[in-house]
Structure 1
Amino acid sequence: MSTTHDRPADSVRVFAPTGMLGAGFAESTVERALALGADVISVDGGSTDSGPAYLGASKPKTTAAAVARDLRSLLKAAARADIPLIVGSCGTSGTDSGVDWVAGLAAQVMAEEGLDLRVARIYSEQSAVDLKEHLSAGRIHPLPPLGQLTAETLQSCTHIVGAMGHEPIVEALQSGAQVVFAGRATDTAIAAAYPLIKGMPAGPTWHMAKIVECGGQCTTNPRAGGVLATVDAQGFEIEPLDTDAACTPTSVAAHMLYETVNPFRMREPDGELDVSDATYVALDDRRVRVEGSRFHVAEQHTIKLEGARLSGYETISFSAIRDPLVLGDLGRWSALMRTIITERVGQTLGLSTDEYAFDLRLYGHNAVLDELEPETGPPREVAVMLLVSAADQATATAVAKVANPLMLHLPTPDMDYLPSFAFATSPAEIERGAAYEFVLNHVVESPTPTSLFRIEMGETR
């Protein structure tokens, strides 16, 4: 691979094949990206979207076979085109073991394919001991809705990661890496790093990176595959790689609404993207050009911290109701269910309500919107999910077993017969195991943009 990472360029073409490594993409879109002159491949490997368990347990949500399949295609493409491949938030949550997991799969693929690429691993896990020092020095600040952080909360976390900006990735590339496997990173940093090396302006680069972060989600057919974005001194152009999909001004602009507090501003570790004056113009029926984006450098570089801790153990069970009398007043029925479960758990297990917790969710009625549900008429059928949590698995399952006959037969007070509902599984109780909760949504002032991260350069394989 060439070592011209620092060579100035008139434009840089960024290929984003999919929104998440392991989600899959058509091989034809990879071929089209290379034919159009892609300069770098950028793909996100994770997210917090699926909840705290993946960070708390440091386990990926994607299967190894799917990740290996995507890596095989992208590693071969990077080698053939002599361009970098950058993967961020490896292993879903970006923990150190997640980086090693993805890098290990890549090593196996490269050995099978006879590829000789130099790999960098960037680790983003943070030590609670080190963070306590930052906390004592007043360098950690809360983000809404959380309040001030305590040392005890830091210590309770099973894993803590810091979301890196582009700078550690830049350092790895400038050190000769051809493939970068990064721990937790902002979704945009992985796409912004290479254009910034090549001298592209920060405003268009960060805006482009935000739009391509989810691959084809900024197109009229999000399932069709990835996109190619070309950044230059004045702005950027973007097009889908599936010939049946299109980018429109609306589909591109709309992605600034995705996962942002403010659709016109977005904070990165080293500053803030400002698209309040951006313009979106259709170049033809498939391509869009964007200009007018700006980037305001912050006085203080900060790194967002994400941490999860064990919250207990969970057991769930499902039953289904079609009885019209029960469905006619589900609020009354569910209130009765909650009361009787609490009473019987106390009678049979001797547990107080501070020793366990349960939730009753009525899918098909109001399980998603709760009191905001606009539909007022009775549903035709409802799935009842009982979710029990406790400090240990045995207690959670015991509570669910006490609730078992109620989940199958509980009548309303005015019913003169015993209804029968239907369990979804046998046995009805499903032990989910350990459950986790997010407890960190804070930023730490970083001494330098790279000091909280560790880069390991590997030999070519």
Structure 2
Amino acid sequence: MDNEPARSVRVLTPTGMLGAGFPEATVERGLELGADVIAVDGGSTDSGPYYLGASQPKTTRAAVARDLRVLLKAAARAGIPLIVGSCGTSGTDNGVDWVSEIVADIQADEGLSLPVARIYSEQDADRLKEQLTAGRIHPLPPLGDLQPDTLDSCTHIVGMMGHEPIVAAIEAGAQVVLAGRATDTAVAAAYPLMKGMPAGPTWHASKIVECGGQCTSDPRAGGVLATIDTDGFTIEPLDPTAACTPILVAAHMLYETVNPFRMREPDGTLDVSEATYTALDDRTVRVEGSRFHVADQHTVKLEGARVTGYETMSFSAVRDPHILAQIDDWADLLRAVLTQRVEQTLGLGEDKYAFDVRLYGHNAVLEQADPAQGPPREVGVMLLVNAPDQETATAVAKIANPLMLHLPTADMHYLPSLAFATSPAEIERGPAYEFVLNHAVDTTTPTDMFRIEIEETPRHG
């Protein structure tokens, strides 16, 4: 892991997210092909704000430990770095420590002694308010100017690091890097950039490999190996039966990007508008022409979540054809009657709580944009109540209980019987969260918002 210039760097990405699983044989093949680094993302905001707000992982410990055991043994055997980004799903300090404890247990079990770096990315609200006062925090669309009380309301705030803190950790002697919140691409880009690979091909390759095998003909078969050099990069699946094609590789620039040709990183912008994608054979693709424009100001994106209230959920199913023929009217009636009864029973106006009725099987996902025509065959009715406290949320849901079980339409002459999915019907979900930060901080240095701790002797127990 010296810093001598390299002619190429091979990045092994075993899966799109740590804990998602992968065939162990694909990692072995990556080592046989000469992998120089193993890079894997450990988190995401795809599943909503709860994981950041509560600082909880979405993956089970057993799944993360299984993947890490394979990867740690591979990194030790090959003498190469292992980099994990956005530990614990959201990259909070607790998430980094959670993954670090798993690593320590595995190292003890397997007799390994790889030096570990922990990079913490949580941010202090008071420190950020100083940055805000200094004019160093700017909104990203669609949000407006940040207010200080928004920072105070967050249960957790993280800064999204680029490659620089990861490089600093490796240069300080770490072979295993456990990073807090990081851009998905920084995890794969750090080592090639450290070894002198050009920024254009490196960032582009890192974008393509961020989701493991998603850029292949069989995303379930395992990850990919990207070989980055001074002129471009080559990418191939780790499973010999899977294939990369120019269309599959190019299409990944459409994934989670506002512009399929440009993507912003903390230190600049990737530009693939002139990139070419060439099939070298029936399963390997060569990409050239990627460029990177260095920004005048290095920035770090902030993510923060806060509690919006407490939720209780109920779910019933409608199979009655008379109701289904006018399901929208029935849902409107449910809303109106529930609002009236909550006022009568609890004395609560609509400003004291909120609820949502979602009709799964009929417009729940696309709403009015759904092209489906005609009445549905069956519909699942989800009621989601949000209130300042759990007791109130559950009380509202309980008032809705008989309505979700027996509410007839205005023209029905019998009492229908619907079907609850659970007993009791009311499921208390606890605190609900929302994302409230989409802002960038002008940094003094690329690493000054992050804290790096190197552990030469792994902790055991």
Residue in 2 that maps onto 1:412: 409
Q: Residue type matched to 1:189 in 2?
A: A
The secondary structure found in structure 2 opposite 1:440 is coil
Residue in 2 that maps onto 1:380: 377
Matched, 1:316 2:308: no
Matched, 1:111 2:86: no
Distance across 2 between alignment mates of 1:239 and 1:459: 34
The secondary structure found in structure 1 opposite 2:436 is strand
Q: CA deviation at 1:459?
A: 1.7
Residue in 2 that maps onto 1:283: 280
Residue in 1 that maps onto 2:396: 399
Of 147, 154, 167 in structure 2, the residue corresponding to residue 150 of structure 1 is: 147
Residue in 2 that maps onto 1:135: 132
1:352-406 Cα shifts (integer Å, max 9, x gaps):
1111100000000000001111112101000000000001101000000000000
Matched, 1:197 2:194: yes
RMSD between superposed Cα atoms in Å: 0.5
Q: CA deviation at 1:457?
A: 0.5
Matched, 1:121 2:108: no
Q: CA deviation at 1:219?
A: 0.5
Return structure 1 stretches of 4+ with deviation > 3 angstroms: none
Per the normalisation by structure 1, the TM-score is 0.99
Distance across 1 between alignment mates of 2:376 and 2:328: 12
Q: CA deviation at 1:330?
A: 1.0
Q: CA deviation at 1:349?
A: 0.9
Q: Residue type matched to 1:167 in 2?
A: E
Residue in 1 that maps onto 2:78: 81
Matched, 1:300 2:291: no
Q: Residue type matched to 2:247 in 1?
A: T
Distance across 2 between alignment mates of 1:460 and 1:279: 46
Of 305, 323, 339 in structure 2, the residue corresponding to residue 342 of structure 1 is: 339
Distance across 2 between alignment mates of 1:424 and 1:242: 41
Distance across 1 between alignment mates of 2:350 and 2:183: 40
Distance across 1 between alignment mates of 2:159 and 2:369: 35
The secondary structure found in structure 1 opposite 2:431 is strand
Distance across 1 between alignment mates of 2:86 and 2:220: 22
Residue in 1 that maps onto 2:169: 172
Distance across 2 between alignment mates of 1:371 and 1:448: 48
Is there any run of 5+ residues in structure 1 with no aligned partner, and where? Answer: none
Q: CA deviation at 1:153?
A: 0.2
Residue in 2 that maps onto 1:41: 38
Distance across 2 between alignment mates of 1:291 and 1:423: 56
Residue in 1 that maps onto 2:15: 18
The secondary structure found in structure 2 opposite 1:415 is coil
Per the normalisation by structure 2, the TM-score is 0.99
1:50-106 Cα shifts (integer Å, max 9, x gaps):
000000000000000000100100000000000000000000000001000001100
Residue in 2 that maps onto 1:432: 429
Q: Residue type matched to 2:157 in 1?
A: I
Distance across 1 between alignment mates of 2:45 and 2:123: 17
Q: CA deviation at 1:460?
A: 2.7
Q: Residue type matched to 1:364 in 2?
A: G
Size of the aligned set, in residue pairs, is 458
Distance across 2 between alignment mates of 1:151 and 1:389: 25
Distance across 2 between alignment mates of 1:452 and 1:134: 11
1:27-51 Cα shifts (integer Å, max 9, x gaps):
1101100000000000000000000
Residue in 2 that maps onto 1:102: 99
Distance across 2 between alignment mates of 1:186 and 1:42: 12
Residue in 2 that maps onto 1:269: 266
The secondary structure found in structure 1 opposite 2:56 is coil
Of 29, 38, 48 in structure 2, the residue corresponding to residue 32 of structure 1 is: 29
Is there any run of 5+ residues in structure 2 with no aligned partner, and where? Answer: none
Distance across 1 between alignment mates of 2:47 and 2:211: 15
Residue in 2 that maps onto 1:326: 323
Matched, 1:215 2:227: no
